Amino acid sequence: MGGSARYTAVLDANVLYPTLVRDLLLRLATVGLYHARWTEDIHAEWTRNLAADRPDLADKLPQVVALMNAAVPDCLVENYKPLIGCVTLPDASDRHVLAAAIAGHADAVVTFNLQDFPLEVVSQHGIEIQHPDDFVMNQLQLQELVALEAVKRMRSRWKHPPRTATELIEALDKRGLPLTAEHLKQAANLS
């Protein structure tokens, strides 16, 4: 596919590793707020790290990857490997992410590691680097009702254990999304 008419973001491995952040980003994508993309290399990175930290989850991760790929049409970026050698980043192990963003016609890379993607490098390719908290806040501010409904549906799916809205907000804050947590807290106060 040549690109997407919707805002397109490549999700770095470090935002797919934490289950809650991954679930939130995917939920926002599946309701059409943006086009989420990644690569098999990105999958390999986050699943390898999660399996190392949580061996009890290792056998479930292939199914999670398959479900992710099925949930988001045209999510896998291909033909990015020839570009890896053409980009320079402070951490060479991140070059595949920027190469995927270029090949995948992405508008942004969503990552916790902003410092690994210097503006002077990525801006040459018309790509923004966004922290997941800023990225989610953008979705909330652009399409608040759709985004809030997506968050509500995400929380309602959790059964083992179920979480209250307050517990969700606290968990988002602990996972590095304080602006999102505060926004959801304010939205909860309005209802």
Closest residue by Cα to residue 139 from 31, 4, 22: 31
- With 80 as the cut, is the pLDDT of residue 16 above it? yes
Mean of pLDDT values over 94-111: 97
- With 60 as the cut, is the pLDDT of residue 67 above it? yes
pLDDT at 3: 46
1: in domain: no
pLDDT at 190: 46
Contacts of 129 by beta carbon, 8 Å cutoff, 6+ apart? 108, 109, 111, 114, 117, 119, 122
Q: Which domain holds residue 160?
A: 143-190
- With 90 as the cut, is the pLDDT of residue 134 above it? yes
110: in domain: yes
> 150 and 77 share a domain?
no
Tell me how many domains the chain contains.
2
> 73 and 102 share a domain?
yes
157: in domain: yes
Give the distance between the most distant pair of CA atoms in the chain: 51
> 24 and 70 share a domain?
yes
- With 70 as the cut, is the pLDDT of residue 2 above it? no
pTM: 0.93
Distance CA 43, CA 67 (A): 12
The residue written with tokens 């989420």 in the block is 36
Q: What is the pLDDT of residues 32-44, one digit of tens each?
A: 999 999 999 999 9
Count other C-beta atoms under 10 Å from residue 115's C-beta.
10
Round the average pLDDT of the chain to a whole number and report it: 92
